[in-house]
Structure 1
């Protein structure tokens, strides 16, 4: 836990400027068993994830991704809300938090009971056809994928935050199901990959939530990716208080009104208990 003075200062700012808009990153889901991307210095802990360009342009890259996701998505798909998600839902219910913009694709905020959530980078539980935009539940797509590629689901590997896994093998024989509606051969998780852009209507909706709030509170994000950092920059330019709860360095450290470096779930649970 942070020291008492920092906690009191954070509580004061939250109540003075609330309800606040929250921006969350991978750090809020680590206690749910989903690993994060970066270390305390903001550096990659593992190889960077799949890019949009590689996925769209290379059949071999798609074979590799879908085979590995049969292993990695099991952790993501079975994860349950942790202390941070439950505390943020309670803070929304008590009027401290107005909305959550999340960079995560795990839907754990919604599972915990948060109502005003924007999935900035999309949803990992859906798969979209890149031709007709038809959507499938990812579990159903994985069942189909597993039927075509028996044995892959039973392998073990270290999982990644986005449902990928650190597995190296011969992926050349992996069969990828085509769209059942139009037959197109590129089906992609309905998430924003590195190198792609957040859909403009979704981005505008998130900016509107921030503009309506009294402050921005960054939680569990290093903000190293511009899609998240832009909200910190926007809040700073609008002279809104910019608060942070994160373990380690962030891209916006010189912009924060107050930064608390402390365990996220424990700190949020204490704040939620004090706000009841």
Structure 2
């Protein structure tokens, strides 16, 4: 494992045929969204029981008050940072093909990325737990808990709660992309959240090279990472982007 080899990392990005970027909470920290775990994580301030399916069904108003406060009022103020914007630019320039994100903050979309697999779902839509009718979240959060206009059932955000399975289609699409990637870029992920944490290993088994961008080493750093670029995501992406631009100008 090499450390801070920007020259080699930029070469890999420029010459890769199929690059997948795998993002975790760390990419959004500089947008003002804290991670869930750790000393300053959300779960040090809130009891996450409100995201348990049984608790949500039994106490919908209590759950929804916290869901709205955290995922809509607080997260809703966040804007994409330079990392998100550079990834969107790289996708447009065909330097990356897919983003698999564990985040539900919608910042990749807002930055302009198109080919995004939201592994844990999205806060942008709500679905009825009785009839599965889907709605845009913005229109339904004035009265809590929100209910389905069609059948009156309770509406739930379309992100994965604790103990819920990952939606089959996004799980399978993530595995498919991991299998065909020749370059895999890990950004701001600890490698601790199952089953998302298994996706990079699928890429490794199929011969992908690994660049990791992280403030601190993760579970991947010593096991599958080839180049570890240590630092804040925005700093690292700006350095990488500068290298890539200068290499393009040379050619």
- Interval of TM-score (by shorter of Structure 1 and Structure 2): 0.7 to 0.9
Residues 220 and 246, structure 1, Cα contact 8 Å, conserved in 2: yes
> Once the two structures are superposed, what CA deviation does each residue of 1:62-86 show, in whole Å capped at 9, x if it has no partner?
3222112332221222321111100
Mapping 1:91-240, distance limit 5 Å: 91-145=90-144, 176-184=145-153, 186-240=154-208
Task: Please give the alpha-carbon distance, in whole angstroms, between the structure 1 residues aligned to 2:140 and 2:83.
Answer: 30
Q: Any conservation in 1 of the 2:3–2:227 contact (CA below 8 Å)?
A: no
Are 2:249 and 1:250 equivalent residues in the alignment? no
Q: Which residue of 2 aligns with 1:168?
A: none
- The answer on whether the counterparts of 2:6 and 2:243 sit within 8 Å (CA) in structure 1 is no
Query: Against the structure 1 CA distance between its residues 117 and 102, is the aligned structure 2 distance closer, same or farther, given a 3 Å change threshold?
Result: same
CA separation in 1, counterparts of 2:29 and 2:243?
A: 23
Structure 1 residues 121, 226: CA separation in 2 closer, same or farther (over 3 Å shift)?
same
TM-score with structure 1 setting the length: 0.78
In structure 2, the gaps of 5 or more residues are 246-251
Q: Give the whole-Å Cα distance in 1 for the aligned partners of 2:198 and 2:73.
A: 32
- Deviation of 1:4 (Å): 9.3
Matched-pair contact (CA < 8 Å) for 1:243–1:257: yes
The root-mean-square deviation of aligned C-alpha atoms, in Å, is 2.5
3-state SS of 2:195 partner: helix
1:69 and 2:38 correspond: no
Q: Name the TM-score, length of structure 2 as normaliser.
A: 0.85
Q: Which runs of 5+ in 1 are unaligned?
A: 146-175
Q: 1:95–1:178: structure 2 CA closer, same or farther, 3 Å change rule?
A: closer
- Contact kept? 2:50, 2:63, Cα under 8 Å: no
